[in-house]
Amino acid sequence: MTYRLGVETKPPIKELRKALVTIDKGLPKALNAALKAGAEVVSSDARGRASTPQQARAARQIKPSGTAKGASVTLTASKGVPFAVAAFLGMNRRTGWYAKDKYGASAGRQALPWIGSGWKVGGTGGPAAINPAIAAKQEEMLKRVGDEIARVFKPFFGPPT
């Protein structure tokens, strides 16, 4: 199970990507790499914000991604860390042995409460550690993406003015 959090660009990026291919076939991949570099700024900060032992163990599952749709941070549960999604997004119910009726009166929780869908990326609420990192590092991420794009395009268009 994978959750993707981030900013997807609007349709004009498709036109930009088509134009980039006419200049050099490698530019769309370079644009993806620039977007991924920006997402890494947020990912690394989010990994450092893990506040529970469960989140600390699952932090390695927070990864940057740069695609044709934009920069994003992915959270994926794996065989080695199957609880990663629950650690950051929470759960509605108990699972495994703790789901048995005899534990129903217990006030303890296996994970944070489920975050639901009433939150904005980079706003309040949302995934633990990840959404606060997006809010805190948004400006730095945009600067990093801009710097990477300028570096990639410099051989074709010269230094930015």
Residues 105-115 pLDDT 10s: 888 777 788 88
pLDDT band at 36 (very low <50, low <70, confident <90, very high): very high
Mean pLDDT of the chain: 84
The DSSP 8-state label assigned to residue 59 in this structure reads G
Who's near 72: CB < 8 A, 6+ residues apart?
Answer: 4, 5, 6, 7, 8, 39, 64, 65, 66
- Residue 45 has a pLDDT of 95
The residue range of the domain holding 144 is 2-157
Query: What is the number of domains present in the chain?
Result: 1
Strands of 62-67's sheet in order across: 2-8, 70-76, 62-67
pLDDT band at 8 (very low <50, low <70, confident <90, very high): low
Give the model confidence (pLDDT) of 63-88 as tens digits: 999 887 788 899 988 899 999 988 99
